Amino acid sequence: MVEPAITPISWFFYRFIHQEPVNFSADPLLEGKASLDKDPYSANQAFPTLLVTRYAQRLTLLFPDLRVCHVRWLSLFAYPLTVDSSRSR
């Protein structure tokens, strides 16, 4: 997965400027019911960061065949400076 890392510096941007939610109190490993009413592109942007930090050990226990081989924190500005033109139509 290549997703934005929510760091202390980037948190402000993702929390107050970015259109998708950032909720660090959510548990990305809880089972939930899928909703057809939700926009599939409106996911909690904190999930990837949570999965490789706070929930890494539980992720390994729940999915023993899944291996996180490498975590690379990309540039702070690379993701926020990209524009998704399909969302502006």
Q: What is the largest CA-CA distance in the chain?
A: 42
Predicted local distance difference test score (pLDDT) of residue 39: 80
Highest mean pLDDT among 15-19, 76-80, 82-86: 15-19
Separation between Cα atoms, residue 66 and residue 9, nearest integer Å: 30
Higher pLDDT, 19 or 28: 28
Q: What pLDDT, in 10s, does the model give residues 32-64? A: 777 788 787 778 888 989 999 999 999 999 999
* 15 touches 81 (CB < 8 A): no
Higher pLDDT, 14 or 60: 60
